[in-house]
Amino acid sequence: MKLLLNIHFHVHCIISFNCVLKCPLHHQQVPVSSYIIKHSLKLKGSDAGTVVNIHAASEKFAELVHLLESSFDVRTFKEKLEDEYLEIPTDSVKRVCAGLILREIKDFWRVALLVSILSNPEAENAAGILNKQDELHWRKEKYIRVERAITDLDLDGVWKLKLVLDGKSIMGDMQVKSGGPLIGKWQQRALKWQLAHPNGTMDECIEWMKQSQSKCQKVESST
């Protein structure tokens, strides 16, 4: 429990220092935590970037935690994930949302989750009812539940997932000679499709893509 208290303190320090300052060396805005790690502690620039990325991911985890522990916001998240070409099955929304975040933060997802849980004001708002030990126990149990939910979705290591369709394959299927924003959008759609259909094959993904394009073309031609 003492270890958790120490972690809680350091997390609040990280969050407090994650504001920005004007770097005197480069005259640009940088996170305070990044400046301290890189210039004061003389650690690698990649370490500073990792801290910033963990903090950014922890903010995304705050929404994800709420999604994983309830079913009230599924429709809202579903709408954010979808567009005219892509429809996510309702029972796959949680997996897709979590998978996208984990692919960004990779091995540090548990750290980002911990930061998110420890900085969650929900328990602090109940400070008049809970003592410090109860509050830490509440946070610990919440972390365990969410971590288990993510691992139960078979997402630990999802950043190593080999995509069934890469940019080159999409270009070939769409019969275009060069990439660009259009191919990038389809790569993102294909990733979401794959997260929603973890057992899907390349042929199934291509078939989905063709059907989506055909459906949208019919809608456009009828308007």
pLDDT tens figures, 13-64: 444 445 444 444 455 666 666 666 666 666 676 767 787 788 889 989 999 9
Same domain as 126, residue 49: yes
pLDDT bucket at 5, cuts 50 / 70 / 90? very low
pLDDT bucket at 215, cuts 50 / 70 / 90? confident
Same domain as 220, residue 125: no
Same domain as 154, residue 52: yes
Of 142, 160, 178, which residue is a domain's last?
160
Same domain as 59, residue 9: yes
Helices (H), 69-165: 74-81, 93-105, 109-118, 121-124, 132-152
Structure confidence at residue 182 (pLDDT): 86
Same domain as 105, residue 190: no
Same domain as 171, residue 140: no
For the stretch 100-117, pLDDT in tens is 999 999 999 999 999 999
Same domain as 184, residue 126: no
Q: Given CA atoms 78, 195, 164, 109 in this order, what sign does their dihedral have?
A: positive
Predicted TM-score of the model (pTM): 0.79
Number of domains in the chain: 2
Domain of residue 152: give its range: 2-160
Structure confidence at residue 43 (pLDDT): 65
Same domain as 194, residue 84: no
pLDDT bucket at 143, cuts 50 / 70 / 90? very high
Same domain as 45, residue 86: yes
Task: With beta carbons less than 8 A apart as the criterion, state whether 102 and 109 touch.
Answer: yes
C-beta contacts of 56-62 below 8 A and 24+ residues apart: 57/101, 57/104, 57/105, 57/108, 57/109, 57/112, 58/112, 58/113, 58/115, 58/116, 58/119, 59/116, 60/101, 60/104, 61/101, 61/112, 61/113, 61/115, 61/116, 62/116, 62/120
Same domain as 178, residue 119: no
Residue 17 main-chain phi, psi, to 5 deg = -85, 0
